[in-house]
Structure 1
């Protein structure tokens, strides 16, 4: 692939924009030598404005999503893509969230431009567990755990019962819930079905990948291949 197309596909600008970047000497190798559009060079040897070129397709990111942001590109309010470098919106193939967290939910959010990886994570067949920490408006009744684990719980306006979910009680109004599905507002609707209201919701893990304290709300980082595999471990 020509360097112009490679760099444009990574979101640095249109091909015309990138061609101008070459003319201005902004694209160099790691020794500082100016590159030309028809040069052939390994990805890791290319710098743009003195900074390493963004990773090639196959990118996977983890973000600590803060409350108040939606998992959208077009929402009029704050969106999670605002927390990434602007050029990440322009990558081809596109960078997408792996599932969604609603505006009022915080926690672990994944991004990837690898369609096969995305579907591998969200496919019901994969049975990848998502763990949520929940704060409730009212005390737990005591029978929620058995109901959630039964595999027979039916949400309003749905015909298929939920897959069994595991509830761990952390306090009178605090719990940890593990689910393997991703239905619309599922956790909130499950507690609503037993007469309670979720006041705060935080996703702590996806599969074996855990959100660590050192990743502060609004921050993100790239995932190494072995970290991606922990999702399925």
Structure 2
């Protein structure tokens, strides 16, 4: 850290969570700087000791971004007493590593992980509209063009309207592109138009594609891919 950072930005970069979560921790009095309770807007610089719940927090020495092909049956969480398998069972033990968004237990495909909270915030906040592409198979087979058009026009869900940016029929289902990631949104959208999902595979997040990465395997993104993600999140 070469220059002072706002405390919430420091915590986000350290992988504690999003800036919003960091602000909540500060408001709750759970953050201390140099053994004193911290306050919002406070800046920290080289030599300052930052603690959350009594545990020291430091910036990662380098930004790490991993791509995992999440298999079905794994929960996107680090600790869950009700989950038999979590995605962290498949990953190396890197401090501060956390998922960029989520995939529900029954879904498969591309899931990104990083130790950079600021990058996570930019890639997951709806304001930035990072596109995600899904390949879906439905219980009723291939989506007709008319159903695809309906998904692009928008459907009503219990938590508000939802729409696909793009929809293309594919054997047994379709390809859908969305710019937000509400809980089980794709499944709920397809159910709303009468085509319940049988299988869901995420194949792309922003500029990063799943490619031929086998299920259960991970890889580290190249410098070029990380740079593309930074541009996608407006952090160039």
Say if 1:216 and 1:223 are closer, same or farther in 2 by CA, change over 3 A.
same
What is the aligned counterpart of 2:149 among 133, 146, 151?
146
Distance in 2 between residues matched to 1:70 and 1:145, nearest whole Å:
29
* TM-score in terms of structure 2 length: 0.67
Compare the two structures and name the one with the higher strand fraction: 2
* TM-score in terms of structure 1 length: 0.68
Q: Does residue 1:58 correspond to 2:56, yes or no?
A: no
SS at match of 1:161: strand
Check the 8 A contact 1:163/1:181 in 2, yes or no: no
| Unaligned residue ranges in structure 1 (runs of 5+) | 2-8, 10-54
Distance in 2 between residues matched to 1:73 and 1:99, nearest whole Å:
13
Say if 1:115 and 1:102 are closer, same or farther in 2 by CA, change over 3 A.
same
Q: Which residue of 1 aligns with 2:190?
A: 191
| Unaligned residue ranges in structure 2 (runs of 5+) | 2-13, 15-59
The structure 1 segments of at least 4 consecutive aligned residues displaced by more than 6 Å after TM superposition are none
Structure 1 residue 163 displacement after superposition = 4.3
Distance in 1 between residues matched to 2:195 and 2:164, nearest whole Å:
19
Summarize the alignment of residues 14-163 of structure 1 with structure 2, pairs less than 5 Å apart. 56-75=61-80, 76-85=83-92, 87-88=93-94, 91=95, 94-139=96-141, 140-150=143-153, 152-155=154-157, 157-158=158-159, 160-163=160-163
Check the 8 A contact 1:108/1:206 in 2, yes or no: yes
Instruction: Report how many residues are paired.
Output: 171
Q: Which residue of 2 aligns with 1:212?
A: 211
Check the 8 A contact 2:165/2:179 in 1, yes or no: yes
Check the 8 A contact 2:133/2:203 in 1, yes or no: yes
Distance in 2 between residues matched to 1:123 and 1:176, nearest whole Å:
23
